[in-house]
Amino acid sequence: MTHPWFLGESTPRILAHRGFVPSDSENIAENSVAALAAGRSAGTVYLESDCHLTADGDVVLFHDDDLQRVAGDPRPVAHVRTRELADIMSTRGGLALLPDVLRAFPDARFNLDVKADAAAQPVGALIARESHRVLLTSFSDQRREVALRAARDRGGDPATSAGSRTIAGVLAALAVRLPRLAARRLDGVQALQIPERHRGVRILSRRLLDVAHRAGAEVHVWTVNEPVEMRRLIDLGVTGIVTDRADLAVAERARVL
Instruction: Specify the 3-state DSSP secondary structure of 220.
Output: strand
Q: Is 236 exposed, middle or buried (0-12, 13-18, 19+ CB in 10 A)?
A: middle
Exactly one of 3, 17, 79, 132 is catalytic; name it: 17
User: How far apart (Å, rounded) are the C-alpha atoms in residues 175 and 4?
Assistant: 33
Exactly one of 52, 63, 198, 220 is catalytic; name it: 63
How remote is the C-alpha of 13 from its chain's centroid?
12
Instruction: Specify the 3-state DSSP secondary structure of 3.
Output: coil
Residue 59, H or E segment: strand 59-61
- Cβ atoms of residues 211 and 8 within 8 Å: no
Rg of the Cα atoms in the chain: 18
132 noted as active-site residue: no
Instruction: Specify the 3-state DSSP secondary structure of 128.
Output: helix
198 noted as active-site residue: no
Residue 102: CB atoms within 10 Å:
18
Contacts (Cβ under 8 Å, ≥6 apart) of 177: none
Q: Which positions are annotated as active-site residues?
A: 17, 63
